[in-house]
Structure 1
């Protein structure tokens, strides 16, 4: 064989080998277990995300005044390249109970954490436990709030099964974090104790930035080859409303105005509480709130960029949500704890190119209790028989064989925090029914009254709606053993609803 023919033969053999290996390599990349990145914010009003605003009438999108918005291009990217859930809710709109439901797939009263600062029942398999068993490495970065009263309690004893917890702290809304002698610490002090002060925090020590950097190190660690579950739990934009420069004054020039629902004079539901209480509207507080949101968005952008550079992003299920909202002066209130939209509705964005097409919009109700079963479903893994949340993976991926019955649409359930429940709610794609210990049944209509100022219970045009939601609440209470329905006032309200004429 001539030298020319030998070279030609070698090239042909190499080409044949490459053609044989390429499909195999492609299959290997596709078949490798996907990673999971869960981003949780704290007390986050959904209207601060552009991807939600663009789907609302302007008066709803710009709740704090014309053109008063905060840009969130990186969070919006998750929605545009995946699915946005437009009717997602905190199963209990307070930190600990919602987080317990989120990480276990069970309702808060069945997790050992129906209210803040209680300890998670570790007999329940968490998302971390399940993925540990599947060969994942699991890490948690930031606020946990399921280990009791420890504050901050780094590396809490009750950790939900997360293997890497060096940068997990139990509770608190710290602004400055540092590492000293290899250990994580709160960097701001007052009288020798950890403080919420920003204390000159910069892009390396401000909590949002610091946690992002720690998470980036974890997910891009080239010495690790197992798939990962990484949870990054930011303590912002929860109060105190303070943020590092330059975000602290970036929105000061906006002309913030009180929401339309602020001091309307229309009687509020009694379950709102705080009779006669009115907040004093402070635009500067909203400016700082916007600053916290944009700092989070910029850090999410940094995180996604680094994952993209490491060729991780396309094989990662990315989820962004929050443990509850913040009324931000709607209905004369700040913070959370009630079933109003600003308090209970949360962002829920999911990007997973393997199964979810870009640009999807899911308009049916979702509860944070659905998160763990849905993650397992999207990963193609079995759920737990005791899960009380729903596996929505087929619906979100658009391959469900069960069309939605308009006469019996999906419903999610909410409950107040506390050993003794003050209210429960059932929500479908339009209506919200609230039963409480302190008031008549309330029915909200998101189409006719998105500001939630009026009670539509037994109003013309709503025939059968409250009864349908009430029946669903009754079934939920029985199925999950929710003690709320033992309360005589809630039981009487349910009876009143079920007795309503169609």
Structure 2
């Protein structure tokens, strides 16, 4: 009998080893508001003009995060499904678009009925844990370890929201969070490497992994670090590491301030272009702005060091090769690109996020995934990678596991038809975007915008009206139209949207032939003679009161796409009038352009800049 017990015990150990081998571990390191250009692996993939937007050599070295790319995969076209904390996190956890989760606005509470990838893994025998910012339990602040676990067994150090800088496990009060104040700085002066937020949360995550290892269980742990989100302050010595840099205004920021070219309506700024040069000079000499950037760089460096600590733990415990390590963020931070900070726009550094994944036993080292994906695709992809192909979950996202696990190092041509994914503005109903690895289309309350990311990685030039892109735009518009209605994107709730470019649309940029002048200035009577010159009225047809052409495309009205032949009953709407001025009898009162006028308008080059300034 005793011998049989030994045999049973041996077999149970063997079974646990086989089971553990069949179940790879998972660690997700999830930062908050992280500009992907602060990571070395992304700089190496991009042109220098894009990669170092704050000046030559103004970079953070991130060898540990880069290791994920070098020994695993880097995803060049990974986007948040919504560049806002709560909806992006809800979609990442569930594989559903924001509206279906209940958490489609910031501080909304995710439906308690939601199934997360953590819940599925828990049901498969994983020890699951979550440390750090959650932001899916409504307005609670900090809101410690809610009873709604969503599949996480260990969530003692999960808090709902707030950007705290210090944590401690108080002997009588339990988990405590502190903002950075003189008092808290003094309290933790000697233990900052233990109590500062990034260090503390990584340590708690590692403890959860150790608990699983001690129980001979596979683990799935998410470490949600609230840096490098503001407040922009970081512990020593990281607060002094990058003070020596001079942080330039990014090239795209300078272009936006000078309106050469101007920003789309969904990202417009109101600064007068005559003040642009002085504003740029003031920004670059501002010590507050300087400290802002230096501390963000310091926060990124600390995060990188903590990823190094994670690697060391996995290696010391012999689980490095069969642990999937994911590094990503809830959304980006423009950090001055396009003259904006933070998130909320479809630009690469707002909606685009870092996404790196290492798994030595499953992913080819040095793999570059160029195919477009969003955070809604994470749940179906990771579960499938971990051998769970029937998780009993509904997904709006797609399963990219075949591409991730394929032996090809570069997956440009992995998918025969270019894959289109979708991003939504969850806060203001201003825009919705379709992305591919090389193209980006945004529909909004204003004119459509289309970027060719291969030739214009800085996203400066709208090529929507370029005939070379007509078929691509039509494909992406059709896909976006279907998705925004099927999944209740906020833009679909608008009454009227320009689904095509109006034939007459005033440029927001500086008039190319008239330096430091804008179309909207032509409404002032003293500038009206400029409209007799073809070069100007072609850029400013509305301001010059010369627009009388119905647009050949379609306009979105109350959920339907209509041509100008179908809009008669909607002609009281100003947007419809702008799109279909002939059909709506809304043409401006124009003087006829005589042959002499035509000749005059074609001779702009005969006039000097001084002549234009006199008008």
TM-score (norm. length: structure 2): 0.72
Do 1:257 and 1:283's aligned partners in 2 also have CA atoms closer than 8 Å?
A: no
Q: How many residues align?
A: 473
- Following superposition, the deviation at residue 486 of structure 1 comes to 3.2
**Cα distance in 2 for residues equivalent to 1:461 and 1:449:** 15
- Following superposition, the deviation at residue 32 of structure 1 comes to 3.5
Cα distance per residue 1:429-483 (max 9 Å; x no partner): 111101112x100111112221111111112422212111101112223442435
- Following superposition, the deviation at residue 27 of structure 1 comes to 8.2
Deviates more, 1:272-281 or 1:169-178: 272-281
Q: 1:449 to 1:170 in 2, by over 3 A?
A: same
- Higher RCO by CA contacts (8 Å cutoff, separation 6 or greater): 1
More helix by share: 2
- Unpaired runs of 5+ residues, structure 1, are 1-20
1:11 — aligned with what? none
**Cα distance in 2 for residues equivalent to 1:461 and 1:197:** 62
Cα distance per residue 1:412-443 (max 9 Å; x no partner): 1000123x622110000111101112x10011
Cα distance per residue 1:14-63 (max 9 Å; x no partner): xxxxxxx9xx8998387341111011000000011111111111111111
Asked if 1:108 is matched to 2:98, the reply is yes
Coordinate RMSD, CA, aligned: 2.8
Question: What does 1:256-295 correspond to in 2, within 5 Å?
Answer: 256-264=247-255, 265-266=258-259, 267-273=262-268, 275-276=270-271, 280=283, 282-295=289-302
**Cα distance in 2 for residues equivalent to 1:489 and 1:188:** 45
2:234 — aligned with what? 243
Asked if 1:414 is matched to 2:414, the reply is no
2:328 — aligned with what? 321
TM-score (norm. length: structure 1): 0.88
Higher-Rg member (1/2): 2
**Cα distance in 2 for residues equivalent to 1:75 and 1:190:** 30
2:29 — aligned with what? 39
**Cα distance in 2 for residues equivalent to 1:345 and 1:302:** 26
Question: What does 1:49-60 correspond to in 2, within 5 Å?
Answer: 49-60=39-50
**Cα distance in 2 for residues equivalent to 1:365 and 1:198:** 46
Residue of 18, 22, 36 corresponding to 1:28: 18
Question: What does 1:35-434 correspond to in 2, within 5 Å?
Answer: 35-181=25-171, 183-188=174-179, 200=189, 202-221=192-211, 222-264=213-255, 265-266=258-259, 267-273=262-268, 275-276=270-271, 280=283, 282-382=289-389, 383-384=391-392, 386-398=394-406, 404=414, 408-418=417-427, 421-434=429-442
- Following superposition, the deviation at residue 176 of structure 1 comes to 1.0
**Cα distance in 2 for residues equivalent to 1:223 and 1:287:** 40
Q: Secondary structure at the match of 2:56?
A: coil
Deviates more, 1:460-469 or 1:182-191: 182-191
- Following superposition, the deviation at residue 275 of structure 1 comes to 3.3
- Unpaired runs of 5+ residues, structure 2, are 1-10, 273-278, 501-552, 564-615
1:449 — aligned with what? 456
**Cα distance in 1 for residues equivalent to 2:16 and 2:26:** 21
**Cα distance in 2 for residues equivalent to 1:320 and 1:449:** 27
